[in-house]
Structure 1
Amino acid sequence: MSAFPHTVRAKLAKSLKYPFVGEDMDFSGAVLNGGSSTRMGKDKAEISFKNKRLIDISLEALAGARANEIFIVGGASRVAEDSLNILYCQDMFPGEGPLGGIISALSVAEYDFLVTLPCDHLYVTSQVVEQCLAVLSIHEMACPLLEDTKQVLCSAWRKSVLKKLKEIFDSGTRSVMDAVSLLDVVTFQVSNPEILRTANTIDELWQ
């Protein structure tokens, strides 16, 4: 049985929607769900887009890449409980931004590699998750570029970077971009930038 501090195991079903059978690289997957969603007017994770909750798009990308475990960081635990075989991880630093969520995820991850995704991707796929892991190699973190900007929430991390991230966080840094500037990071281009598109408002869903 998994021993997860700060986690609640979600309900299991006889027929698992998200099978965890990592074949090539054992890794943990986490969807960051700690934002306030004020611009959406409701819980962003539960907004429907093309007959799916936004959060399910990221969950399915991690499952499709054969993550050995998947958990949702922050937000309401019932969001995880509504998804079969998904763990819930409390954000250790609520209100402090996604860097705290990443640290929380690394703290509970059982595997040496972690892939994080935000909860508001519209088209992200398992191929992006696999690319993050494939290019990580000896680096501390890997992420795709969108218009030459690092997409730091859609990224692969070595669990060994946890101590360094905690030190950066404790120094007062809250920006993920500032934190990763102090790490050994490798980036890559995706074939279709649309798969990295996110939405912060209802209008952006349909642009």
Structure 2
Amino acid sequence: MFSAAVLAGGQSRRFGEDKARFVYQGRPLMAWVLESFAGAAERFIVSNRPYPEFGLPVHADVKPGGDAMSGVHTALYHARREWVAVAACDLPFLGRGYWGWLLEQAHADPSARLVAGASASGFPEPLAALYHRSLLEDLGHRLDTGRLRLRSLFEEHPARVLPWEGLEARFGPRLFLNANQTEDLPKP
């Protein structure tokens, strides 16, 4: 089992409205991500805004000002499980199978502290990843010292990064499609 956190702290400037609440194919984008976490022992939202309509705890950043790093730190801080699935609220094509598969990969490599899929460009997707709670102290230190690049965690800690080709074959080409503008979302 794992904990699961949706990050909904961005400003949605390019999007033009709150991405988490944007209705895509009949449901808010955040609902799609929350559904992908159906196998989690606990689910919560990390945001500095309230989201009562989702019926889940909402936690504001413990150490604000660090963008996504603050969100991941807050997720690890509040999680009760060893592994924490973290996803941005604008990734509607993640599915329950994706998180189950990442967790299998984490258990297959006991030294790993991060597990993520790689994008087509080969870089890990830090906002669709599993983080081990043992990273909490390091994330706090990074926030204190202004080291805010999430991808650097994958370079400095034992990580399992799964190649895009296998992910695409298993979960489809839209897996990491995030919505920066409404036009980014495919029409039904």
TM normalised by structure 2 equals: 0.88
The equivalent residue for 2:53 is: 82
Whether the 8 Å CA contact 1:168–1:179 is kept in 2: the answer is no
Q: Which runs of 5+ in 1 are unaligned?
A: 1-25
Q: CA deviation at 1:73?
A: 0.2
The equivalent residue for 1:157 is: 131
* Letter matched to residue 160 of structure 1: S
1:127-166 alignment runs, 5 A limit = 127-137=97-107, 138=110, 139-147=112-120, 148-166=122-140
Whether the 8 Å CA contact 1:32–1:72 is kept in 2: the answer is yes
* Letter matched to residue 42 of structure 2: E
**Deviation readout 1:96-153 (Å, 9 max, x if unpaired):** 2111100001001111111011100121100111111111131001001121121111
The equivalent residue for 2:176 is: 196
**CA RMSD of the aligned region, Å?**
1.5
Q: CA deviation at 1:166?
A: 1.8
**Deviation readout 1:127-184 (Å, 9 max, x if unpaired):** 1111111111310010011211211111111111111222233222111112332111
Whether the 8 Å CA contact 2:48–2:59 is kept in 1: the answer is no
1:1-207 alignment runs, 5 A limit = 26-63=1-38, 66-77=39-50, 79=51, 81-84=52-55, 86-137=56-107, 138=110, 139-147=112-120, 148-188=122-162, 189-190=166-167, 191=170, 192-206=172-186
Q: Which runs of 5+ in 2 are unaligned?
A: none
Compare 171-180 and 133-142 and name the one that shifted more: 171-180
* Letter matched to residue 43 of structure 2: I
Whether the 8 Å CA contact 1:121–1:196 is kept in 2: the answer is yes
Whether the 8 Å CA contact 1:34–1:95 is kept in 2: the answer is no
Whether the 8 Å CA contact 2:117–2:129 is kept in 1: the answer is yes
* Identical residues among aligned pairs (%): 24
Q: Which has the higher helix share?
A: 2
* Distance of 2:63 and 2:13 partners within structure 1: 19
Whether the 8 Å CA contact 2:124–2:154 is kept in 1: the answer is no
* Letter matched to residue 47 of structure 1: F
* Letter matched to residue 4 of structure 2: G
* Letter matched to residue 183 of structure 2: D
SS at match of 1:154: strand
Whether the 8 Å CA contact 1:28–1:110 is kept in 2: the answer is yes
* Letter matched to residue 125 of structure 1: G
* Distance of 1:75 and 1:48 partners within structure 2: 20
The equivalent residue for 1:22 is: none
Whether the 8 Å CA contact 2:45–2:59 is kept in 1: the answer is yes
